[in-house]
Amino acid sequence: MHQPIAMATNMKTWNLYTLVFLFNLFLSSSHAAFSPNNTCDNTPYPAFCRTTLPSQYLPIHDQCHFFLQQSLSITKTIFKMVSSYLKDNYTIPGSTVHALEDCLNLTELNIDYLFNVLHAIGKIVTSDQVYDLQTLLSAILTNQQTCLDGFNEVTPYPRVTSALSSPLSDSIKLYSISLALFTRGWVSDATTGRLTTVEIITNRQLLQTSVDNVVVTQRVVVNPDGSGDFTTINDAVHAAPNNTGISNGYHVIYVVAGIYNEYVSIPKSKQNLMLVGDGINRTVLTGGHSVDDGWTTFQSATFAVVGKGFVAVNITFRNTAGSSKHQAVAVRNGADMSTFYKCSFEGYQDTLYVHSLRQFYKNCDIYGTVDFIFGNAAAVFQDCNMYPRLPMQNQFNAITAQGRMDPNQNTGISIQNCCMKAARDLGDATSNYNGIKTYLGRPWKKYSRTVYMQSLIDGLIDPKGWTEWSGDFALSTLYYAEFANWGPGSNVANRVTWQGYHLIDEKDANDFTVNKFIQGDRWLPKTGVPFKAGLH
């Protein structure tokens, strides 16, 4: 029987490393500062912050370093606990095993991210590095919340859930405090210009219109008839080189036209991978996992990617579970600096899971019903088509369900120069879209953030624009905004009057562009994918 772990931060179980660390901090801190630091008051968990922090007199950078160390410690403990359950899983229901597997994978990512942040935190010299680390800290919170969400989807198994509840809850608080302190201590310096910004010289208009002009280290072919290098996508991914970094050119996997019944997962070790097909509805990757069939939402994905720098071009990703099976993901994307170009995503509820980190979608088609673009990445959609389709009886459509859970996360969904039109099965204005209400989005988490700008919004969108998740949940803390949209559904006269809803001007809209929101000027040019960096 596993017992809930005792927090190392409860002032009773300090380890030797922590004591040495604190002693060194005490020696290095200015003895002239005798007033306590009130930074805990500016975190989402001020009481937990104050009782955990050994001294209120530490400078904010040292406070952040301390909480990051505590975060790493508890994350390692959670990883060991989850691993032990999975080794003894013959007594655990299968659905709970799926949730544990999700948690193990996400916790392993968090350990890597925390190591990276701790390694870099004392060497930050540019604002670009600050935004990279803020992105990782935001993803750590998202990963842990996904772990918790997975357990909420399955039948409770007390031996597991009761033991994990305390460390999972404490880890969320530690991650949130770390992010808040980092935001106050470093991000504020970056945004006010007190850190150096590296100038990136790039064409801010549309770049080349193909992906031919990219650096390629190797190119392999997938063809089921045996005439290529591989007969399955999974075999080609498995054979791709590991840990190549993202500055050494792409490993290109060309997938010839055909229907591929595979569940493909690209792990963190496969970096700078480019998957190129023969076109939408010609190269098709398809599967049918769903929550109704015992998978978690996280595991239901037909295609999942974590490897940094991933690019997909000319491919259809499909989940065929149908509207009756509820959550059924076509693509789950947790890859930083990832790009999908001229791709199609087909499903019903939860089609495209923009899970975490920075993402860009260009000239893509997304089909779905309930919350069909959801997650907590910093994701920009440019020149894409969103096609709400016919849902189950008594359901409505919501294009987005953004999952920002913390006010300091640099995440959200930005939809620019896109088109919101009804899929063929939903009908048209003459049929009143079969009586189905369709909304721009609803708040999955407390600080949900979504912006529509310079886009065509057709008449299928309900005049109120947005809809509630549950009662008044998140209506004052979310951030939903519209800017310079057009079309029959863009009339804002009858929009919701929530505190968190905004009609924004060009200055505010600029914060959600490729350049500002996902720092795309730094990494999109090498993909060969065309993009517009700003509003014009």
Q: Which residues are catalytic?
A: 371
Report which DSSP code applies to 7. Answer: P
DSSP state of 131: H
Q: What are the C-alpha distances in Å from 352 to residues 310, 327, 340, 400, 402?
A: 16, 11, 12, 10, 11
The three-state secondary structure class of 84 is helix
CA–CA gap between residue 455 and residue 10 (Å, rounded):
51
Specify the DSSP element, H or E, that contains 133: helix 127-153
What's the token pair of residue 515? Answer: 């350049």
Q: Rounded CA gap, 285 and 26, in Å? A: 57
Distance of CA 166 to the CA centre of its chain: 24
DSSP per residue, 283-333: EEEEE---TTTT--TGGG-SEEE-STT-EEES-EEEE-S-GGG----SEEE
Residue 481: both structure tokens together: 């905004």
Q: CA-to-CA distance for 469 and 466, rounded, in angstroms?
A: 10
Please count the CA atoms within 13 angstroms of the CA of 36 that sit on its side-chain side.
9
Task: Determine the number of helices (DSSP H) and then strands (DSSP E) in the chain.
Answer: 11, 26
Would you say 226 and 257 are in contact if contact means Cβ atoms under 8 Å apart? Answer: no
